[in-house]
Every structure is written in C-alpha cells, then in structure tokens.
C-alpha cells in the first residue's frame, strides 16, 4: 500500500467528532455480546432471504453479503457538501444525455471527442431525436464516492444505468435498529426509511404527460435467478407496486399493459432492472425473453416512461468519466464540486506508455466493465499478472483507463480481537424527477473485509455497513 | 393482481401440500411395513404408486424397499415430486410472489426450505426418519399457521387456498384409489387381519386415524371408512370437504371480481356429485370408476382456474 491512509474514526491523531458518541457507547460494550449480535444479524439476513446469486458459480448457492455492525458515520456538514456535489453532478449527467441524443452541442464544442460516443456500445441511435418525459434520462443514480482525507472526496464511478444496492442501505439500517435500539435513542441519525416512498413519488412525477389519474408504476425484473432479484422484489414490495417480468407484459392499444387476474392493465412508468439490450427484442437483442416486445415504440410514442431511459449507459463509461468535470461545467456553468480521480486514458499513445511503465502502481479498469471484474490492481498483483495484463492493454488500449492507487479511507470493522480498520467506499442514491433531485441522507458503504484490500465489491469478498448521517 | 402472481401463490401452496402429503404417506408406509405387513415390498410399492412416481422410480430402481423408496420420495433431486424438489419449487414460487406475502408467511417458507435442504442433504437413516418426517409436518404447520394468522382474506388468500384444496383433493382421491380393493365389501375378507392393516394405512395416510374414531359411531368397516373419507364434510381431507371449500373460495373470488367463472361452475358440479350421496350408490357405480372421474374432474378444475385467472397467458 502506498502511504498511510485516513481513518474516519481515529483521524490522523485523535478521535474524530462524528464518532465520539458511538465510541463512548462501544467502549462500554462486551465483545462476546457483540459477537452474538453479529451472528443474529446473519441469521436475520438468511431468514429474510437478503441474498444474492453469484454469476459463474456452479453450485448456484445463494450468498449473503457480510454485514459489519460498526456504522460508518458522516457529520451533517460533510453530508451536505457531498449531497450538493452529487446533485450538481446528476443534473450535469442528465443535461449531457439530453444533449447527446438531441443537439450534440458538447460534441460540436469539442469538449468530449465524438469518437468516444460514436464507438460506445451503450450509445443507442434509437434514442436520437427523442426526449423522455421531463427530459430526465437517469432517474436513479448511484454515485460511487471514495475518500482519502478530511476534505478529500472523489467520485470513482457514476452508475447512471441501473445502480443496485439500495435495499442493503435500507436493510442494514433496519438490522441496526433491531440490534441496537439504544444507540438510536442516544445518537440522532437521519432517517433513510423514506427512500421507497420518495422513489415511488419520483417515478410517478416522471410519468408521461398524457397520463391521467395516479400513474401506474411497476418494477420490471429479469426474474428470480437474477443476482439482484431480492432488491427488485423488496423495492416493489416497499413501494406497493407490482413486480413484473417480460412475459407479464404486452402492447395493448398503443400502451404497455400487464396481465392481471382481471385482464390487462395499462402501465405508465416502468422501473426496469433489465439491461438495455434485453429491453425490447423488436428493437435490440432479438433473442431476449426478458423484455417487452414493442416497448420502444410505445416509449417513442410518449405512452410510457422507462426508468432509467435506454442509452444512459453512455454516461457510465469510464472513458467518458474522465471528462465528467468538464461535462458538469459545460452544462451547469459552475466548477464541479466533486472531484474526479485522476484518470489516464490508455487510448492516448503517450499515456499508454506511462501506464505500461507504471503498471505496478496503478489500477487499470475496462472502460465498460463493472462489478470489479476485468481490472488490475497493480500494487496487489504479481509480476506475471502485470505482464499478462500488459498484453491485453497493448492489444486494445482504448478499452482501458488507469488510475493511481488511491489511499482509500478506512473505517473500523468489528472482529473477535476488537476494532480493525478496513478500506471503504460509499454509494449514495439520487432520485431525479422533472421537478427535483432527492438524495436520501446515507447510502451504501461497502467495505473490503480483507486486511489491506481495496476491492469492496460484494462479488469479490466485500461487505457492507450501515451509513449514518448525523443530525446537527 | 398479476396473473403470474396468482399462479405463483396457487402453485406454492400446491407444492407445500404435496410435501406434507408425501411425508404422511411415507410415515404410514413406514409404520405398516415395520409393524404389521408380511409383505413390505408391496406396501412400499403402493406408496410409490400413490405418489404418482412409479414410472420414474422403476426407471431408477429394481424392487421396492424402505431405504430406496424413502430416499426417492424424500430427497432425490431427480424426482420432481420428492419433498426436496417440491419444497424448492414452493420456495421459488414464494420468491416469485414475495410482494404478495406477509413477512411471516415468507419467512416461514424460506425457513422451511433452509431447514429441510439441510436435513435432506444426506440420506436419512431409518433411526432418523421419524424426526425428519416430523420436521416436515412441523414446518408445514408453521406455514399454514402464518397464512391463517397473518394474511388478509382477499384474492391472494383465495388463490393460496385453491392450490391447497386442489392438491389435497387429488391426493385423497389417489390414496383411496390405490387401496380401493381393501374397501370393497367382499364377504370373504370382512374383518380379516388383512383388511384391518389396509384400513389403518388408509386412515393414517390422510391423518384420519383418530378422527375417524371420534367422528364415526359406526364400526370399523369398509363402507363407513369410505363414507368418512369421501363424504364427511367435517373431515378436512375428505373429498366433500375439499369440493365444498373449493366452491366457497371460488365464490369469494367471483364476488370480489364480480365475475362468475367456468371453474366455479365445474367445482359446483363436482360438489353436487358428492352432496347427499350415500356410500352404497358409489359402490354401485364402482368405487374405482368413481374415483377416476373425481381425479379427472379435479385436474380439469385446476386447469380451468389457471385459464380463468390468466396464470400463464
């Protein structure tokens, strides 16, 4: 690891203010009792079925994401700054998407290279010249944020496509409330439980203009074998809306309708957790069984809102990411509040050379990758792994970006031997509707459970923590 | 409600009922084979036949004995009717319809699946069999209790009940049919040891061993047992009870949806066939023929429910 990292509890020399009340409580706890509580939490998660399926695992066993009982705590002022930065960023991203699919001013101005967009698979020509209701493209955004110091926050990734994990934010809080009710009477933590209500309101506010009465909202899932199925059913349940699959849907009189026990019922807003490619076999992948044939025609006719809109993935792209501060400034006219991590675009020959020469110190990622797959963490890789990766890099340089290995902040986790620092990141969730941006105070804190590890992805041995934003 | 959701609820409860019925069948077979029968192989064979698993079983094994039959019916993943398979199917359906279930019902089903997959991971030695069977019965009661205690009495509940009742009616009719020869009033067998054993199996297979004594003033004889299992509306596994309750639930749905369905008509017709019947006339019709037509009517109602409420299309 490079240098020393910032610990969010212990700070550089003394216990940081947001953790003071918690530390006081923790010091009075008995380790054996906490261990027992940790076991109870796991049993609760299993019984409730808060599990995920790991792709590519033969036994297809359902796994739990390990939950750590020490909260990650942010002060209200830290949060306010973050929230402001996220709001600015998601407004910028929505303006960017609207522009890309309509006038393309940012390309003409030369701020973002045309090539990056034209060669991007996530850019959908089918969306050109079409404006979704209220001009909102990405309604639900999960912005991955890392921290390296007292005031050093960076955006690591913009998940503008279909961010997941919000159910863990909600269940983690629920678990903490059940395990340690006394903590919440001592320490004033801002609520996250309004999220499902806010989500439904935000989706309803995004309904097509011609929708009459209360909009009918549904969640579209690929089905029970999808890794995030639990979240899909949880959100539908919490919002009080139907959870549908592709075969429940068909086009009826120019609208998308779902098959109910009483006949077909028209849907106004579809929160889809199915990838673009599978959304409509008539427009995209003809083999898809997961989508609704004809939904794109209905969409373009203005008779349904698809959230997030098809084609938002172009803003998720890691090569586009490197331009995000410019993009935000281009549309908002303000400097970006949240910083980017320094990013080397391997498509540029000089940069590629630098990256290859410094592979052992960099993190290299696929431009379109996600979930922590297909990446190289230089400092943790062997010489052979680096050499192997260098080959891939040279073969397809434009497919990669590289970033310096950040000294991610740590938050302690609970172990048998007491508290031990582990690296974390943070994914707050922003809801965007034509009228407003709403960000619930909190988010999903992912933690690398292995000592020294920087990989927080749940598919690669990461865990989660409850995230507290304190009241003033 | 989505048609798919209605279908998921219906099948979830069919599968749960099936798991319980299979466990009870094994229990009865086990008891008889262990204590009474001079011919355990034929006892185990009739267990397999009753579970409608003979073809699959014969493909895999040659001959019938306690170890193989119980393994096949309890934990064989290749047998779609094994307790392991149907509990998994019930839980898959529960995941599918999770938004329609209370936390209590969902947790009960999920816990059942967790517990039984663990229990059924390894072959069950004879000494542990009673415990495993008790666990299945216990879990089944837990789910039923959660359903009755926490679910709103609306269409969701009706579809759960329909699944239970169709499966149960099918099961009871099948059990009687496999043993129908023991119920035929044949002068040479009446009161023989053979009859007594078969009657006991029959009653135990539907958990009616004690309730028959409570409910029946009659002697322990073939017509009164047949009457009890087919026509007694007080007995929650009798054909008359299932048909009557099926009509009740389909009526609730018809009122709720303001729409009288074909499946209700079919169920009413079935109910009429059982109402006011005396057992003598059923014997005159031919017990086996009677039961075969009940089985096909039940299957027909099941399919009609799927169509009426748009489970699949």
Note the pLDDT tens digit of each residue in A370-421. Answer: 656 678 888 888 999 999 999 999 999 988 999 998 889 999 999 988 899 9
| Nearest CB neighbour to B99, from listed A46, A243, A259 | A243
Residue A182: the pLDDT is 94
Residue A80 to residues A85, A158, A440, B129, Cα–Cα distance (Å): 9, 19, 11, 61
Partners of residue B95 in chain A, C-beta under 8 Å: 49, 224, 229, 233
| In a shared domain, residues B23 and B66 | yes
The Cα–Cα gap between A89 and A332 comes to 9
B150 touches chain A (CB under 8 A): no
SS (H, E, C) A49-111: CCEEECCCCCCCCEEECCEEEEEEEECHHHHHHHHHHHHHHHHHHHHHHHHHCCCCHHHHCCC
Partners of residue A247 in chain B, C-beta under 8 Å: 4
Across the strands, what pairs with B49? none
| In a shared domain, residues B136 and B261 | no
Q: Of B151, B180, B207, which residue constitutes the final position of a domain?
A: B151
Residue B281, Cβ density class (10 Å: 0-12 exposed, 13-18 middle, ≥19 buried): exposed
Q: What angle do CA A439, A445, A451 make, to 5 degrees?
A: 165
CATH topology of domain A342-405: Dna Ligase; domain 1 (3.30.1490)
B257 touches chain A (CB under 8 A): yes
> For residue A308, is the peptide bond before it cis, meaning its omega torsion is within 30 degrees of 0?
yes
Domain interval for residue B200: 153-313
Residue A391 to residues A106, A123, A146, A359, A381, Cα–Cα distance (Å): 34, 28, 29, 12, 15
SS3 A344: strand
Q: What is the C-alpha radius of gyration for chain B, rounded to an integer number of angstroms?
A: 19
Task: Yes or no: say if B160 and B109 are a contact pair by the CB < 8 Å rule.
Answer: no
Who contacts B248 (Cβ-Cβ below 8 Å, separation ≥6)?
none
Query: CB distance A49–B106 less than 8 Å?
Result: yes
A204 touches chain B (CB under 8 A): no
Q: DSSP string covering B43-80, please?
A: HHHHHHHHTT-HHHHHHH-SS--HHHHHHHHHH-TTST
| In a shared domain, residues B308 and B169 | yes
- The enclosing domain of B117 has a CATH number of 1.20.120
Query: CB distance A261–B309 less than 8 Å?
Result: yes
Nearest CA in chain A to B6: A261
Q: Of B99, B127, B151, which residue constitutes the final position of a domain?
A: B151
Interface test with A, best of B2, B102, B263, B305 (most A CBs within 10 A): B2
Across the strands, what pairs with A149? A152
pLDDT tens-place values along chain A, 472 residues long: 334 789 999 997 889 999 999 999 999 999 999 999 888 888 888 888 777 765 555 445 677 889 999 999 999 999 999 999 999 999 999 999 999 999 999 999 999 999 889 888 899 999 999 999 889 999 999 999 999 999 999 999 999 999 999 999 999 999 999 999 999 999 999 999 999 999 999 999 999 999 999 999 999 999 998 889 999 999 999 999 999 999 999 999 999 999 999 999 999 999 999 999 999 998 898 888 889 999 999 999 999 999 999 999 999 888 899 999 999 999 999 999 999 999 999 988 899 999 999 999 999 988 876 656 678 888 888 999 999 999 999 999 988 999 998 889 999 999 988 899 999 999 999 999 998 999 999 999 999 998 888 888 777 778 999 999 999 8
Partners of residue B110 in chain A, C-beta under 8 Å: 47-49
Phi–psi pair at B303, nearest 5 degrees? -65, -35
Query: CB distance A48–B110 less than 8 Å?
Result: yes
| In a shared domain, residues B117 and B245 | no
Residue A41, Cβ density class (10 Å: 0-12 exposed, 13-18 middle, ≥19 buried): buried
| In a shared domain, residues B143 and B170 | no
Phi–psi pair at A11, nearest 5 degrees? 65, -160
Q: Nearest C-alpha of chain A: how many angstroms from B148?
A: 20
Q: DSSP string covering A390-405, please?
A: HHHHHH-GGGEEEEE-
Please give the helix or strand (H or E) that residue A448 lies within, else none: strand A444-448
Query: CB distance B110–A47 less than 8 Å?
Result: yes
Note the pLDDT tens digit of each residue in B63-113. Answer: 999 899 999 999 999 999 999 999 999 999 999 999 999 999 999 999 999
- CA B180 remoteness from chain centre: 17
| In a shared domain, residues B266 and B162 | yes
| In a shared domain, residues B87 and B197 | no
| Nearest CB neighbour to A224, from listed B3, B92, B257 | B92
The tally of domains found in chain B comes to 2
| In a shared domain, residues B158 and B21 | no
| In a shared domain, residues B300 and B168 | yes
Interface test with B, best of A43, A45, A48, A49 (most B CBs within 10 A): A49
Report helix, strand and coil shares of chain A as percent, to nearest 5.
Answer: 35, 25, 40
Partners of residue A260 in chain B, C-beta under 8 Å: 1-3, 310
Q: What angle do CA B177, B181, B187 make, to 5 degrees?
A: 150
């Amino acid at each position: 690891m490079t240098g020393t990292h910032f610990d969010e509890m212990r700070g550089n020399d003394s216990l940081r203010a947001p953790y003071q009340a918690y530390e006081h409580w923790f010091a009075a706890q008995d380790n054996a009792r906490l261990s027992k509580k940790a076991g109870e939490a796991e049993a609760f998660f299993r019984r409730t079925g808060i599990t995920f399926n790991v792709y590519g695992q033969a036994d297809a066993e359902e796994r739990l994401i390990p939950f750590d009982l020490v909260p990650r705590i942010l002060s209200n002022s830290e949060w306010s700054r973050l929230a402001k930065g996220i709001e600015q960023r998601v407004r910028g991203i929505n303006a960017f998407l609207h522009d890309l699919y309509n006038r393309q001013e940012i390309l003409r101005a030369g701020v973002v290279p045309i090539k990056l967009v034209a060669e991007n698979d996530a850019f959908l020509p089918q969306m050109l010249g079409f404006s979704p209701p209220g001009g909102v493209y990405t309604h639900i955004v999960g912005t991955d944020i890392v921290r390296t110091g007292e005031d050093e926050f960076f955006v690591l990734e913009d998940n503008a496509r279909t961010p997941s994990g919000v159910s863990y934010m909600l269940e983690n809080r629920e678990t903490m409330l059940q395990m340690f009710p006394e903590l919440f009477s001592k320490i004033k933590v801002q609520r996250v439980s309004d999220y499902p209500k806010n989500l439904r309101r935000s989706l309803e506010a995004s309904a097509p203009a011609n929708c009459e009465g209360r909009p009918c909202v549904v969640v579209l899932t690929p089905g029970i074998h999808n890794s995030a199925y639990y979240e899909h059913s949880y959100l539908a349940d919490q919002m009080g809306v139907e959870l549908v699959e592709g075969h429940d849907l068909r086009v009826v009189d120019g609208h998308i309708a779902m098959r109910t026990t009483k006949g077909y019922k028209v849907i106004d807003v579809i929160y889809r957790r199915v990838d673009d490619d599978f959304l409509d076999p008539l427009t995209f992948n003809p083999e898809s069984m997961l989508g609704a044939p004809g939904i794109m025609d209905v969409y373009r006719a203005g008779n349904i809102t698809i959230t997030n809109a098809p084609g938002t993935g172009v803003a998720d792209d890691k090569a586009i990411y490197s331009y995000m501060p410019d993009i935000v400034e281009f549309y908002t006219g303000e400097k970006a509040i949240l910083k980017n991590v320094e990013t080397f675009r391997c498509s540029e020959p000089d940069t590629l050379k630098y990256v290859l020469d410094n592979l052992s110190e960099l993190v290299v990622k696929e431009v379109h990758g996600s979930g922590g797959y297909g990446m190289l963490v230089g400092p943790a890789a062997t010489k052979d792994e680096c050499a192997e990766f260098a080959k891939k890099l040279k073969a397809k340089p434009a497919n990669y970006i590289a970033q310096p290995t950040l000294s991610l902040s740590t938050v302690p986790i609970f172990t048998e031997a007491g508290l031990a620092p582990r690296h974390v990141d943070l994914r707050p969730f922003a809801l965007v509707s034509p009228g407003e941006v709403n960000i619930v105070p909190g988010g999903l804190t992912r933690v690398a459970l292995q000592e020294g590890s920087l990989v927080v992805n749940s598919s690669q041995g990461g865990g989660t923590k409850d995230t507290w934003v304190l009241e003033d | 409600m989505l048609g798919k959701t209605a279908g998921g609820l219906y099948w979830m409860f069919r599968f749960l009922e099936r798991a319980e019925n299979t466990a009870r069948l094994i229990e009865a077979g086990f008891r008889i084979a262990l204590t009474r029968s001079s011919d355990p192989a034929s006892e185990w064979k009739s267990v397999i036949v009753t579970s409608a698993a003979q073809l699959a079983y014969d493909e895999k094994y040659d001959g019938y004995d306690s170890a193989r039959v119980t393994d096949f019916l309890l934990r064989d993943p290749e047998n779609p009717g094994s307790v392991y398979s149907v509990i998994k199917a019930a839980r898959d359906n529960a995941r599918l319809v999770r938004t329609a279930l209370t936390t209590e019902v969902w947790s009960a089903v999920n816990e059942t699946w967790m517990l039984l997959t663990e229990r059924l991971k390894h072959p069950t030695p004879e000494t542990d069999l009673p415990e495993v069977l008790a666990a299945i019965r216990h879990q089944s009661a837990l789910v039923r209790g959660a359903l009755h205690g926490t679910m709103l009495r609306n269409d969701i509940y009706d579809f759960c009940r329909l699944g239970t009742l169709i499966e149960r009616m099918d099961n009871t009719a099948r059990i009687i049919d496999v043993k129908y020869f023991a119920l035929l009033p044949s002068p040479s067998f009446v009161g023989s040891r053979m009859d007594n054993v078969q009657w006991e199996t029959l009653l135990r297979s539907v958990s009616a061993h004690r309730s028959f004594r409570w409910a029946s003033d009659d002697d322990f004889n073939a017509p009164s047992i047949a009457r009890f299992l087919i026509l007694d509306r007080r007995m929650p596994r009798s054909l008359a009870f299932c048909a009557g309750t099926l009509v009740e639930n389909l009526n609730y749905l018809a009122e709720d949806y303001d729409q009288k369905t074909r499946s209700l008509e079919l169920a009413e017709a079935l109910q009429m066939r059982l109402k006011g019947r005396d057992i003598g006339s059923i014997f005159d019709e031919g017990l086996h023929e009677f039961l075969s037509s009940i089985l096909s009517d039940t299957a027909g109602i099941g399919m009609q429910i799927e169509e009426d409420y748009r489970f699949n299309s």
